[in-house]
């Protein structure tokens, strides 16, 4: 006896490829015999959000506790993955032995197929520890038995950023030992082949050989599949009818060819309907690839870290990536930084282009503005640097910068008029001094978000000053900030004491475990003798005996968890101390009137270090000048 095997995978982001409502029979499709639905076997039925909480709840809480910025906190990990372009919330595998011809429901072959599917399902989770099954149903109310397994792929280690346990199909495959061999044989393909081999082993255990149909067609949804099979069956029945002329037989065969062509077209369109993501850490490479796509009229849609294109263009895009030669990235970054700096001191596009020309850049104005940096051999289109560097983007940035500066000046005047605290007024004036120093070119670019263009709302130093000003507006003073600093230090000291105590406790419990295993199980110990173990039991733990000594394993495990929580609390206390110390130190310098002056002097030393031996003095031994700021009052 022979049976074919079918193993297909669907992604949650692709319509109809993960259909839990259909699997659980929340609605009855036309191809389902409702009278047999009660015969279906449900192995697992768990709400996917509950599964996410079970799998990632602790890791998510730990990750959020470590975040100092509200915008980095993940409130709902399921929704976070759902919006992600990189990962799928879940996958669905459809498994089938045979077909309706040799394993139809209600037949002897169907009963054997049902047993084999049951065997496959019961070993799936054990065989795939990094694929969490949250829904699994064996359907016996359609033409032939088949299995739907919905699972969440996850990793458990190897991440230095993000959640320590999270969603990733690629990492799940890696942890289970499936590695990429080449582009056409990646870890997912290797896993699928492994599962098919397992299905073949199950077939062989039941005395059945695998039938190879050699069609290798892409999996089709129910309706297209039924339509193609119905047409093919009609053709075969017509051919069997007698008598038929040679012309009539040729006409019927032509219908078969037309039907096959329609199937091929369906597969082609289905392949093109799916979008693939392309991600680039380098904005230069992304700009170069999309420029080539524009030239070839290949459609794509932008994302925050790259773009998406239809799956049928994957090979073309990979070929572009291999062949593309981008402009020297140093020149592009140099131009981006120069535009960012000059943007802070111009009121129009003409001002900006004039500054660039004055700084040695060659400007060419045509359909797009192009700029050639000094020593470079090629012009760079400003729009290729990113959306913020297009002509409309630059004009909007100038407008927003002028509005911010005007608001800062009016806020400072209003604070003086309303007799705000001295701390508030000094901080606002320091912010104005900072913008002046930056415009003069005495301070470098400090982007808060390196992936975005510089603006007053994307400047790390100005953002810190604004946060300090908000604290002063809320009633904080230098004294209260010092008190917060001292309180954070005390909290850190207390957390350190707790951590030391829990470490000592764990060491003690581990020693006790070693002695108990030596005394009751005869396990050898390099540190203790049988007399040591007996003395400890007699003096310190007389209640421990042969019936209950194994509870020490639970005690050690609980203490390890307690220690882990103490380490997290210690890290949190250290982070809070570092934050409080930084705020207090910045407040001291701001209120002393030396904040901007010190920043400028540090930058002078940094720039001079390219020429001076020690980075603090010139070649003649004279200390570099201190930048003279206008008086605050």
Average pLDDT estimate for 153-158: 90
The Cα-based distances of 330 to 79, 335, 376, 609 in angstroms read: 38, 9, 10, 21
Query: What is the rounded average pLDDT for all residues in the chain?
Result: 83
- Decide: 142 and 29 in contact? Cβ < 8 Å: no
- Residue matched to tokens 């729009």: 383
Summarised one tens digit per residue, pLDDT across range 218-269 is 445 554 555 556 666 666 666 565 556 666 667 766 766 676 666 666 555 5
Whether the per-residue pLDDT at 627 is higher than 50: the answer is no
Q: Which of 558, 575, 593 is the last residue of a domain?
A: 593
615 lies in some domain:
no
Q: Which of 277-286, 399-408, 556-565 has the highest mean pLDDT?
A: 556-565
Average pLDDT estimate for 87-110: 91
Cross-strand pairs, 146: 139
More confident residue, 29 or 216: 29
Summarised one tens digit per residue, pLDDT across range 432-489 is 898 888 888 788 777 777 767 877 877 888 888 888 888 888 889 989 999 998 999 9
Of 204-208, 364-368, 424-428, 604-608, least confident by mean pLDDT is 604-608
Q: Which CATH number characterizes residue 123's domain?
A: 3.30.930.30
Q: Which residues contact 117 (CB under 8 A, 6 or more apart)?
A: 95, 96, 97, 138, 145, 146, 147
253 lies in some domain:
no
Range of the domain at 369: 329-473
251 lies in some domain:
no
Whether the per-residue pLDDT at 199 is higher than 90: the answer is yes
Of 78-87, 231-240, 568-577, least confident by mean pLDDT is 231-240
224 lies in some domain:
no
Residue 191: pLDDT band with limits 50, 70, 90: very high
Please name the helix (run of DSSP H) or strand (run of DSSP E) that holds residue 618, with its range, or none. Answer: none
Whether the per-residue pLDDT at 96 is higher than 90: the answer is yes
Give the C-alpha separation, 218 to 263, whole Å: 10
Q: Which of 292, 323, 354 is the last residue of a domain?
A: 323
Q: Are residues 362 and 460 in the same domain?
A: yes
Q: Which pTM was predicted?
A: 0.43
- Decide: 95 and 144 in contact? Cβ < 8 Å: no
Whether the per-residue pLDDT at 38 is higher than 70: the answer is yes
Q: Are residues 298 and 400 in the same domain?
A: no
Summarised one tens digit per residue, pLDDT across range 317-333 is 888 887 765 444 578 88
**Which tokens hold the place of 249?**
């037989």
**Which tokens hold the place of 385?**
């640097």
629 lies in some domain:
no
265 lies in some domain:
no
For the chain, how far is it from start to end, CA to CA, in angstroms? 97
Whether the per-residue pLDDT at 282 is higher than 70: the answer is no
Closest CA to 57 of 154, 147, 175, 135: 154
Q: Are residues 451 and 552 in the same domain?
A: no
407 lies in some domain:
yes
Q: Are residues 364 and 465 in the same domain?
A: yes
Summarised one tens digit per residue, pLDDT across range 536-562 is 989 999 999 988 999 999 999 999 999
Give the C-alpha separation, 263 to 257, whole Å: 10
Q: What integer pLDDT is reported at residue 181 of this predicted model?
A: 67
Q: What integer pLDDT is reported at residue 97 of this predicted model?
A: 94
458 lies in some domain:
yes
**Which tokens hold the place of 595?**
């904040």
Q: Are residues 354 and 416 in the same domain?
A: yes
- Residue matched to tokens 């002063």: 472
Q: Which of 263-267, 278-282, 527-531 has the highest mean pLDDT?
A: 527-531
Q: Are residues 57 and 107 in the same domain?
A: yes
Q: Are residues 60 and 172 in the same domain?
A: yes
Whether the per-residue pLDDT at 632 is higher than 80: the answer is no
Whether the per-residue pLDDT at 216 is higher than 50: the answer is no
Q: Are residues 524 and 539 in the same domain?
A: yes
- Domain count across the chain: 4
Q: Are residues 451 and 562 in the same domain?
A: no
Give the C-alpha separation, 566 to 270, whole Å: 53
Give the C-alpha separation, 259 to 308, whole Å: 32
- Decide: 481 and 590 in contact? Cβ < 8 Å: no
Residue 203: pLDDT band with limits 50, 70, 90: very high
Q: What integer pLDDT is reported at residue 85 of this predicted model?
A: 78
Give the C-alpha separation, 36 to 140, whole Å: 7
Q: Which of 473, 492, 514 is the last residue of a domain?
A: 473
Q: Are residues 490 and 468 in the same domain?
A: no
Q: Are residues 491 and 570 in the same domain?
A: yes
Whether the per-residue pLDDT at 213 is higher than 70: the answer is no
Give the C-alpha separation, 123 to 618, whole Å: 74
Average pLDDT estimate for 422-435: 90
- Decide: 326 and 350 in contact? Cβ < 8 Å: no
More confident residue, 280 or 416: 416
Average pLDDT estimate for 352-374: 88
Q: What integer pLDDT is reported at residue 227 of this predicted model?
A: 55
Q: Are residues 395 and 494 in the same domain?
A: no
């Amino acid at each position: 006896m022979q049976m074919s095997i079918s193993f297909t995978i669907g992604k949650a982001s692709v319509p109809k490829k993960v259909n839990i409502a259909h699997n659980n029979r929340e609605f009855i499709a036309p191809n389902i015999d409702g009278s047999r639905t009660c015969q279906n076997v449900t192995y697992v039925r768990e709400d996917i959000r509950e599964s996410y909480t079970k799998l990632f709840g602790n890791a998510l809480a730990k990750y959020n506790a470590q975040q100092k910025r509200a915008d980095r906190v993940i409130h709902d990990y399921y929704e976070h993955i759902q919006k992600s372009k990189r990962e799928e919330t879940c996958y669905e595998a459809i498994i089938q032995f045979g077909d309706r011809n040799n394993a139809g429901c209600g037949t002897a072959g169907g009963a054997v197929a049902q047993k084999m599917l049951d065997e496959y399902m019961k070993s799936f989770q054990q065989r795939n520890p990094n694929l969490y099954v949250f829904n699994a149903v064996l359907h016996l109310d359609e033409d032939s038995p088949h299995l739907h397994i919905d699972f969440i792929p996850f990793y458990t280690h190897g991440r230095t950023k993000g959640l320590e346990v999270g969603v990733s199909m690629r990492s799940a495959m890696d942890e289970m030992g499936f590695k990429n061999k080449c582009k056409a044989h990646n870890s997912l393909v290797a896993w699928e082949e492994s599962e098919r081999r397992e299905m073949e082993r199950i077939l062989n255990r039941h005395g059945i050989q695998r039938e190879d149909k050699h069609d290798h067609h892409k999996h089709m949804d129910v309706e297209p599949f039924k339509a193609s099979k119905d047409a093919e069956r009609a053709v075969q029945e017509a051919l069997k009818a007698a008598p038929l002329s040679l012309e009539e037989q040729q006409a019927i065969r032509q219908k078969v060819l037309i039907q096959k062509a329609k199937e091929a077209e369906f597969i082609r369109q289905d392949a093109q309907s799916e979008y693939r993501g392309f991600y680039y850490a380098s904005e230069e490479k992304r700009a170069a690839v999309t420029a080539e796509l524009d030239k070839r009229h290949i459609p794509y849609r932008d994302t925050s870290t790259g773009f998406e294109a239809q799956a049928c263009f994957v090979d073309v895009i990979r070929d572009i990536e291999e062949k593309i030669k981008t402009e020297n990235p140093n020149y592009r970054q140099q131009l981006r930084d120069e535009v960012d700096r000059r943007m802070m001191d111009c009121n129009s596009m003409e001002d900006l282009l004039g500054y660039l020309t004055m700084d040695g850049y060659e400007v060419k104005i045509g359909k797009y503005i192009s700029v050639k940096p000094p020593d470079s051999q090629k012009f760079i289109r400003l729009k290729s640097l990113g959306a913020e560097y297009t002509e409309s983007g630059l004009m909007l940035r100038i407008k927003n910068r002028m509005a911010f500066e005007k608001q800062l000046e009016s806020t400072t005047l209003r604070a003086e008029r309303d007799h705000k605290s001295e701390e508030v007024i000094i901080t606002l004036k320091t912010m104005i001094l900072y913008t002046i120093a930056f415009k003069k070119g005495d301070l470098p670019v400090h982007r808060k978000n390196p992936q975005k263009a510089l603006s007053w709302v994307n400047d790390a130093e100005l953002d810190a000053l604004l946060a300090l000003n908000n604290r002063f507006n809320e009633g904080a003073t230098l004294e209260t900030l010092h008190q917060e600093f001292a309180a954070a230090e005390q909290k850190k000291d207390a957390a350190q004491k707790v951590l030391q105590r829990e470490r000592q406790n764990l060491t003690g419990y581990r020693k006790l475990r070693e002695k108990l295993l030596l005394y009751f199980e005869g396990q050898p110990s390099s540190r203790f003798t049988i007399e040591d173990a007996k003395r400890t039991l007699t003096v310190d733990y007389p209640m421990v005996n042969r019936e209950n000594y194994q509870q020490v394993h639970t005690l050690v495990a609980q203490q390890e968890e307690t220690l882990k929580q103490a380490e997290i609390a210690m890290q949190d206390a250290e982070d809070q101390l570092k934050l409080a110390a930084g705020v207090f130190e910045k407040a001291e310098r701001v209120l002393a009137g030396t904040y901007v002056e010190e920043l400028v002097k540090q930058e002078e030393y940094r720039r001079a270090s390219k020429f001076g031996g020690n980075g603090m003095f010139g070649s003649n031994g004279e200390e570099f000048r201190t930048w003279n700021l206008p008086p605050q009052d």
